[in-house]
Structure 1
Amino acid sequence: MSIKHYLQTAYQEVRLTSDAELSAVQNLNGTLQPDRDNLILVYGGSFNPPHRGHIDVLLSGLRPEVAAVAVVILPSEDFHLRHKVANSHPEFFLHMKRRADIWGAIPSVPKGRVWVWTSTWYPFKPFTEAMVRLAKADGFNLAFSHMIGPDNLNTKDPLNNLPYKLPRILVTNKARHVIAQFLPDGKPVMWPGFGEWTRCIRSYGDEEDVVLWTCAGVDDKDKRGYYLQFAESSPVDINSTNLRAALIQSQRLDEVSLNQLSTKALLELLSPVL
């Protein structure tokens, strides 16, 4: 069954029916399978602005080791971003809609497997619950999982990833590697409330050395952890704060001028880091 059918129905159930919201899923071509967990990754973040490190994380989630049906990009709310950048170049501020527009226009993002959440955060959790329920009624197991980089991992409570909790989380070190999150034997460090990590041995014939580790909750078997380990992380480690400072200095930007630019102009501005 096409994932698009359930997405459209769930959108309508939580009263998200604008052309922008429904058109965001039109190009998706994934299908749900009855004999396995169908995983949808939720990639949330400020993305002020999106850059190559963000894209590397996103594309790593589409690796065959993960076998995700789709990824949804969830830009943070404006109020959350204002708090985050209050003491760090607050004049570089892209509104949520502009950040969503940029993600939707980046050529390297595969539109058949990725869509962008263009609405406010608040209906997102009931939307995920509706998706799971609708799919289950037709015999499909659907699971939503956060996807984050290791620098955003809360090792004391991995599933506590604001603004909401999901029963699963995937950490990928494609864009950045944190040595402290691994033991000397190569396994990820155990998380509180989760069992031992298991290495999923799969070979897909490419040149990258990639291992997917999985673990399950001790008291709640619906909880899952995934660690997608790349032997070599991306050689380009972009610091968002430094990036914003450089753009402000070189382009004389502020919030008003930034948000008056067209999406095409923003892509051209960001092209060196995309």
Structure 2
Amino acid sequence: MRRNHKQNIPSQSVAAKSRAEQGVATATATAPLLLDEYIRRVVGSSSSSSSSTFPTQHRSSPAILERGRTNHVLLYNGCFNPPHRGHLAQLVHALRHAGPGLNVVGAVVLVADDLYLKWKLAGQRGALSLRLRQRVRLWEEELALMAEEEGRRCWVLSETLWPGHADRLDRLFGEDGVDVEFVRLAGGDKVRVAAVEHGLWGCRSVITTDVSRPVDFYSSSSVGDVALSMPMPLPLSRHGEWKRVVVVGERQGEDGRDEGVGSETLTTKSTVISSSSSSSTSTSVPQPSRNIWTCSHGHYNVRFVASSHDERVDPDLSSTKIRGIVAAAKKLDVDQLEEKLRGIALSPGLLARYIKEAR
């Protein structure tokens, strides 16, 4: 009996170990897949590549990747010398209003390196030229102050290092069976009637908005949030017909953000509803709550998320304008310069200190 008991101990241990391993596997399979954890594994937690918090459509919730559907992450690149409120408005608008069908879970801001910035500013003697780390930090501080408790939704990284990071992320996503697609967020200068910049970083889709600057393919007429017309965007060269994205069953939060529930359907211009339409117009096509349009060129897609008049920021706001303010304010102290930059630049206090330190 004693020998039999001893012989049973290993078998019981093996069974217990097996049950424990199954429990771990089940817990792992059901645990939320946090985008932040993937990025930290690839990028690391060093100060040069730290993550910032940022609000999107799911309040007080981390950026969670879902199995069984495509998760989209925005890539927003630029010199950001310095970053300003227009850059932030573009990012916020795309994250909040891209539509639930796209399932945008987060964004990566990609900041150009110092060598590229030097080339871009060639010939502009005395122009403000912030270092990469400074431009990253200006973004990070502004994003952290915006949403301290809303979870990590945005990461600010070096554009030069991104291709290597993306390759490693793709491998990790594949190992865990989660589908993630990167989508480029571009300004109106990259999406024009004459040409669209496709294919950067392998992105098949581009999103743009008119919240920070006008686009040359679309104009609207509105009073406040009330649209007086629903114009068709002008055709983009070598792209197919624009189709309107109609969000069905979407709810709007208290702060005006789209909460991301519902589904999407597409309508052509023949089914677009106008506020001037007669009351006899068929109600089979639901009234869209926001102007979102999409068109394609081969396997490349463009999504345009229009803004209302009240949402738009000053179209003259630019990094060039800020550099002009800085050049004309050489005699101001840090506090005075910060006041000049407030409401225009991101993290105006930090930017003012950077500028004074450089002098």
Is residue 72 of structure 1 aligned with residue 108 of structure 2? yes
Q: 1:173 to 1:153 in 2, by over 3 A?
A: same
CA distances 1:107-135 after superposition (whole Å, capped 9, x unpaired): 23666211110x4x333123223323322
Match of 1:204 among 251, 254, 265: 251
Counterpart selection for 1:270 from 341, 348, 355: 341
Per the alignment, residue 184 of structure 2 pairs with: 146
Which amino acid is the alignment partner of residue 171 of structure 1? T
- Contact 1:146/1:168 (8 A) holds in 2: yes
Q: CA deviation at 1:8?
A: 2.6
- 1:147 to 1:79, Cα distance in 2 relative to 1, 3 A: same
Contact residue 187 and residue 197 of structure 1 kept, 8 A: yes
**Per-residue CA shift, 1:30-83, capped at 9, x if unaligned?**
011123221111111111111111111111122143441111111111111112
Which residue of 2 is the match for residue 4 of structure 1? 36
Structure 2 CA distance for partners of 1:136 and 1:266, relative to 1, 3 Å: farther
Matched, 1:20 2:37: no
Q: 1:147-193, CA deviations, whole angstroms, 9 ceiling, x for partnerless residues? A: 1221232555523476x452221111111112x31389723334455
127, 130, 138: which one aligns with 1:94: 130
Inter-partner Cα distance in structure 2 for 1:54 and 1:166: 20
Q: Corresponding residue for 1:228? A: 305
Matched residue of 1:181: which SS?
A: coil
Inter-CA distance 270–188: structure 2 relative to 1 (3 Å threshold): same
Name stretches of at least 5 consecutive residues in structure 1 with no aligned partner: 12-16, 254-260
Aligned counterpart, 1:114: 154
Which of these two proteins has the greater Rg computed from alpha carbons?
A: 2
> Which residue of structure 1 lines up, in the alignment, with residue 84 of structure 2?
51
Q: Which stretch has the larger CA shift, 81-90 or 38-47?
A: 81-90
Mapped to 2, the partners of 1:190 and 1:132 lie a distance apart of 34
Distance 1:231-1:25 versus aligned 2 partners, 3 A rule: closer
TM-score normalized by structure 1?
A: 0.77
CA deviations over 1:71-106 (Å, ceiling 9, x no partner):
111111111111222234543111111000111001
- Is the partner of 1:63 in helix, strand or coil? helix
Secondary structure, aligned partner of 1:145: strand
Aligned to 1:35: 68
**Structure 1 counterpart of 2:36, which letter?**
K
SS at 2:68 equivalent: coil
User: In the alignment, is the contact (CA less than 8 A) between 2:80 and 2:135 conserved in 1?
Assistant: yes
Using the alignment, how far apart are the partners of 1:265 and 1:250 within structure 2? 9
CA distance in 1, matches of 2:39, 2:98: 24
Helix, strand or coil for the counterpart of 2:182? strand
Amino acid at match of 2:329: S
Q: Distance in 1 between matches of 2:97 and 2:246?
A: 12
Q: Deviations over 1:221-261 (max 9, x none)?
A: xx3321111132624221322321121111359xxxxxxx9
In 1, Cα distance between equivalents of 2:191 and 2:318: 17
Query: Secondary structure of 2:295's partner?
Result: strand
How many angstroms apart in 1 are the aligned matches of 2:87 and 2:125? 20
Whichever residue aligns with residue 127 of structure 1, its letter is H
Match of 1:63 among 96, 107, 117: 96
The verdict on how the C-alpha distance between 1:224 and 1:131 changes in structure 2, with shifts beyond 3 A counting, is farther
Cα distance in structure 1, aligned partners of 2:39 and 2:81: 27
Total equivalences in the alignment: 254
Percent identical among aligned pairs is: 24
| CA 127–235 in structure 1, closer or farther in 2 if over 3 Å, else same | closer
Check whether the contact 2:86–2:313 (CA below 8 A) recurs between aligned residues.
no
Give the TM-score normalised by the residue count of structure 2: 0.61
- Counterpart residue number, 1:174: 211
